[in-house]
């Protein structure tokens, strides 16, 4: 049981890492090479890392350059390298809340959940008003099995932006672990309404239906999970 819960939590964390990435295109570039994204070829991502290194040599250290490199390393699934770059960005501009949010996300991807929570706290103290800090802190709390805090933060994110599917997902997961299984179904249903082709959402709701003894709906959601998982490949 504990292993199943841990696997579900880590899957949820990984999913949020992919969906919530803030994009930091380097404004100092006027290159013909397109700025990449999370689905770009790793070769293109490496080329941009090299280009930014060259720009740092040319113009000197700048927080935005380091933050852009951090984003690239996130997309390369190298969270420790991303943490290093975001740390340099924070060193050069500690007042920028987005940098703390970004490093918190990288800490979460590296499964360094306590440090992630510290960075989300720092972002909020610096005036971050986006839902990502609360979603990220909620997900980190889930991984640490701090379900009441996760539930509270998910609600705060929903208050800021009720269209954030990941906030509803985090809320539903926390409700499930707190024994509020019927409420969990409602929150997970809202997440599905916002992202109807996200396979993992159906998997989580299936677990809630199963807990309630509703085998028919649980099986239906498992079938939808399998269908959308195939479509995503």
Q: Please give the Cα distance from 104 to 110 (Å, whole number).
A: 10
Residue 133 predicted with pLDDT over 60: yes
Q: Please give the Cα distance from 188 to 154 (Å, whole number).
A: 12
Residue 22 predicted with pLDDT over 60: no
Can you give the residue ranges of every domain in the chain?
A: 22-145, 151-233
Average pLDDT over residues 172-179: 97
- Looking at residue 65, its pLDDT comes to 92
CB 206 within 8 A of CB 221: yes
22-145: CATH, from 2.60.120.260, 1.25.40.10, 3.40.50.970, 3.90.1170.50: 1.25.40.10
pLDDT cut 70: percent of the chain above it = 85
Same fold, 22-145 and 151-233: yes
- Looking at residue 230, its pLDDT comes to 84
Q: pLDDT-based confidence at 27, cuts 50/70/90?
A: low
- Which fold does the domain 151-233 belong to in CATH? 1.25.40
Average pLDDT over residues 130-154: 96
Radius of gyration of the chain (CA): 19
Q: Please give the Cα distance from 218 to 214 (Å, whole number).
A: 6
């Amino acid at each position: 049981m504990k292993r199943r819960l841990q696997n579900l939590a880590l899957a949820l964390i990984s999913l949020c890492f992919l969906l919530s990435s803030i994009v930091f295109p380097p404004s100092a570039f006027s290159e013909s090479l397109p700025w990449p994204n999370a689905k770009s070829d790793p070769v293109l991502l490496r080329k941009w890392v090299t280009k930014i290194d060259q720009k740092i040599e040319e113009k000197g250290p700048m927080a935005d350059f380091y933050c852009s490199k951090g984003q690239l390393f996130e997309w390369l699934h190298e969270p420790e390298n991303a943490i290093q770059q975001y740390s340099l960005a924070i060193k050069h501009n500690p007042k920028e809340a987005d940098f703390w949010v970004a490093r918190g996300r990288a800490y979460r991807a590296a499964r360094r959940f306590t440090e992630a929570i510290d960075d989300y706290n720092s972002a909020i103290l610096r005036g971050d008003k986006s839902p990502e800090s609360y979603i990220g802190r909620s997900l980190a709390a889930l991984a640490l099995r701090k379900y009441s805090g996760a539930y509270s933060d998910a609600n705060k994110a929903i208050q800021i932006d009720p269209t954030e599917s990941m906030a509803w997902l985090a809320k539903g997961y926390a409700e499930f672990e707190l024994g509020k299984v019927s409420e969990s179904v409602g929150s997970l249903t809202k997440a599905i309404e916002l992202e109807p082709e996200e396979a993992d959402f159906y998997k989580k709701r299936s677990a809630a239906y199963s807990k309630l003894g509703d085998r028919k709906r649980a099986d239906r959601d498992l079938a939808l999970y399998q269908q959308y998982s195939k479509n995503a490949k």
